[in-house]
Every structure is written in C-alpha cells, then in structure tokens.
Structure 1
Amino acid sequence: MGYDELIAEGLTTPFEGWDFGVFRGRLTEKADALPWSYERLVRQRLPQVGSLLDLGTGGGELLASLAPLPPRTAATEGYEPNLPIARRRLEPMGVEVAEVGDDDALPFADGSFELVVDRHESYDPQEVRRVLTRDGVFVTQQVGGRDLEEVNQALGAPPHTYRDWDLSAAAAELTDAGFEITWQDEARVPAAFHDIGALVLFLRITSWQVPDFEPDRYAHRLRALHEEMERGHPLEVTYHRFALLAART
C-alpha cells in the first residue's frame, strides 16, 4: 500500500481492549525480552489469596487468562469503550468490573483485597494501600517515562511530560506511602515499527505518546519515515518498562 492508504488504514483499523495482535509483524520486539514475566509474578501469588483487584483491566484479556481466579475478584477500567468489553468477558466469571475516573478514588472499602495487580495503569500509592489488607501485596509493571522516546524524536514532537517516571521514582513513592519493596527490576527492550500505518494506529490508541498527534500536523516527518521504511529501514525504538512487588506494612 502507498502512503495515503497506510495512513487511512492506521486511522480506521478497529481496535478494542488491549489486544495488540493487529500489530503482528508490523511492530516487532525481541520475544521474551523482559528479564521478568508480569504474568508469572501474578500467577505465583494467586493460590495464596482469596481476593484480587486488577487495576486498569482493559478489555479483561489478561485477567481472564489467569483463571481460576480468587473467590472475590474485581477489576477497574477508566477507558469507557473498554468497559462493555471487559464486562462481557469478566462478569460471567464472577468478576466485578468498576468504572473509575480518578486514581485516588477506588470504589472499594478499606482492606478489601489481599492482592492488587496493575499492568501499565496509573495508580495512587495511598489509595492502593487503603484497599489492601494488612500484609497485602501490590504487583505492578509500569511503562517508564522514556518509553518509545524515539517516536517523539523522529516526529519532532515534545518529549513526555512524565519523562522522570522510572523505577526509583515509583519505589520512593511507595516507600513513602508505607510499603516495603520486596523485589524490583527495570529494562529497556528494542523494538521496531515496520510500516507507517502501524505507527499511526499505535499513536491513535496511545494518545499520551504524542498528545497532539494528527497525520496532517506531522505529515512531513511521517512521509520521510514512510520512505525510509519502504527502503527496508524500520523505525527503531525502545520500550522502557519496570516492575516491582510492594508489601503493605
């Protein structure tokens, strides 16, 4: 496809939940590149708890894959289009899906959950601590503030406003909130966009990456990237991820 067709495809391709299968072969990364597995971190703890809260469940894809789930399992989601998707998937499994609009106002009573998990969702440390039981555990994998900064550089877009969000910042916040960090790790993983349509689709669904993104606004840079990709030179980028386990003290 030509440039115009790829741009149109990126703007119109259906996308729901957080199923990134649509990027297969178009946004590539080294398989199992992270030195940890978020899914394994969560699975290891599920048999030990009777209550679980998943923050920012998306379409519920990952949470559903972790079944069997604890007797009381709940999830939150703040992106309105994902709510009906998550509820269709999770409510038949007995999971309550709560809509949230504010990280510091979780709709649950104090001490409601033994385990709170969070993959790539923002959170308020004090609020997470409030809903955890005594000795409860928080497991999170976060997108760091240097994530895919090569995209912003290639487009001539401003860097992330949260550029300093990294493992040390998150660990300090949680410690200040009354948690003990029991494990932590951070990594940068190489990846590549192979066509301009995949990049446009990605920027469409991750509005925080380049908040003012519109193809017309960045047309000159997009065309230059497209020409490079057509010559077999993908846009090389780097994922920034970190993860930690924190026990409520």
Structure 2
Amino acid sequence: MARTFDDLVAEADAASVDGWDFSWLDGRATEERPSWGYQRLLSRRLTEVSAAVDLNTGGGEVLAGIEEISESRPPFPPTMAATESWPPNAIRASRLLHPRGVVLVATEDRPPLPFTDESFDLVTSRHPIAMWWTEIARVLRPGGTYLGQHIGPATMIELTEFLLGPMPDKGAQYAPDVQRAGAEAAGLQVVDVRLERLRAEFFDIGAIIYFLRKVIWIVPGFTVEGHLDRLRELHERIESDGPFVAHATRVYFEARKP
C-alpha cells in the first residue's frame, strides 16, 4: 500500500538532521557526484602537509571518511584541526574526529578564525555558506593551499522556485567569477576553478522535506507548516509524474598563498 502524504510528512519532519550524513535518503533520492572526487583528492593532499584545518566540517563525516579511503597511515598530518559553529554538529564532529587525532574547535559563525597567522599549510572546506577569504589567507603559511568544494549559483533552483516562486538571482554570490574575485582580493592566487551542474531526483515528498530541513539555504526558513499547500501539490505531482528532478551546482576551488 502506498504511504499517505501525512505519513511521509510526519516521518520526515521527525527525523534528525544533525550532521552531514545523508544516508536517510538512501532509496528515496539520488544526486550525481562531481567528477573531481573531492574526498579522495583531499585525502591525497593531507599526506603532503604538516598542518591542516578543515573549516565548517559539519558532523565530521568527510574527514572521518578519509581514514577509510586513505592509502597513508596515519591519514592526517601531525597537526590536524577542524572547525564547526553549529553546536549539534560540533558535538557530533568532536565525538567522531577526536579518536582519529583531529582537534575539533567550536567557533562563532563569523570571523575571525581562532588561529594565529600562518598556522596551516592547507585549509579546506566542503560546502561553506560564506567564504572568509581574508581569514583563510591570514592563517595560511606562504606557499600554502586552499582547497574547497563550494555550493554553486542557483543550486537546486527548481526546488526553491517550486516553493517560493521565481528567484532569478538566487546564489549569485556563489558564481565562480565572484568567488575568484573574493580570493584574489584577499591576496590569494587562484589555481583552478570548475563548475558542474548535477542531476538530483526525489522519489517522495518525505525525501524533499528531509532535504530542505537539513540543507537550510535551499529554502531559507523552511517549515512544513509554512509550505504545506505547496508540499501537498508537489506530493501529488510526484505520485502522478514520477521523481521530482532538480540540479545541484558545485564549484571546485583551489588557490595558493604566494
């Protein structure tokens, strides 16, 4: 028997959205992955430096996964730190990363970073909401590298506009040229920038609700109650037409401090 709209909504609205693990969506949604393979690339870069920090580490899942794919033992440099500003994620990341020798630093959601000048050979970040280029440049050692996978412009725009209406300028601050300009203004030399648009499919309304509760920048201020009519309409569309298709955008970004 097909599950009702109310059943799917109740299940997704009650699910925990702490951390950056999306396994709850297994079998309910899919998303293409960027061609550059960020986690494996990060694993290799960490073996080449003596001190690194991962900014906005979420629940620590990306760094924890390095241990499984790394061909180096230990997989992290002698000095390895991570930062996180959302308390539930900071707690989760601390529990996950401390046994692996990574120091988790709980931070404010604004500059400055709590590190001295020229502390790290490598600064990394996956899906930061804001880029603190001046701070990144400050904590990098001369010759050091910033490596990141960023949100791109108009990511999941189809889902945003279904619930909120037309938003032609959504995510303009994440455009590759804007990101490049910010890094260069901070004194960094941009080495590589790439943009990819990746297909995502949602197979039921519960998957969409869970995703929007977890990835809060897609529909800012999202609540089930506040968007109930449009969610019901979207549920009916999926039931009649099949999966809802949207597209994530991702930017690979690498820069160097002279």
* Range of TM-score over shorter length: over 0.9
Letter in 2 for 1:14: S
Q: Which residue of 2 aligns with 1:138?
A: 146
Q: CA deviation at 1:77?
A: 0.3
TM-score by length of 1: 0.93
Contact persistence 2:173–2:179 (CA under 8 A): no
Equivalent AA in structure 2 for residue 166 of structure 1 = A
Paired with 2:251 and 2:219, the residues of 1 have a C-alpha distance of 21
- Which letter does structure 2 place at the counterpart of 1:217? G
Residue 188 (structure 2) pairs with residue 179 (structure 1): yes
Q: Which of 150, 155, 179 lines up with 1:147 in the alignment?
A: 155
Alignment correspondent of 1:53 = 53
| Alpha-carbon distance, 1:99 to partner | 1.0
Residue 10 of structure 1 aligns with which residue? 12
Using the size of structure 2 for normalisation, the TM-score is 0.90
Which residue is equivalent to 1:211? 220
What is the DSSP-based 3-state SS (H/G/I as helix, E as strand, rest coil) of the residue aligned with 2:131? coil
Match of 2:253 in 1: 244
Q: Give 3-state SS (helix, strand or coil) of 1:41's partner.
A: helix
Count of residues in correspondence between the two structures: 247
**How far did 1:58 drift?**
1.1
Deviating more after overlay: 201-210 vs 3-12: 201-210
Gaps of 5+ in 1: none
Within-5 A mapping of 1:1-249? 1-30=3-32, 32=33, 34-67=34-67, 68-121=75-128, 122-157=130-165, 159=167, 162-249=171-258
Secondary structure of 2:209's aligned partner: helix
- After TM superposition, give the deviation of residue 161 of structure 1 in Å: 5.1
Identity %: 37
CA distance in 2, matches of 1:8, 1:98: 35
3-state SS of paired residue (1:246): strand
Is the partner of 1:208 in helix, strand or coil? coil
Letter in 2 for 1:37: G
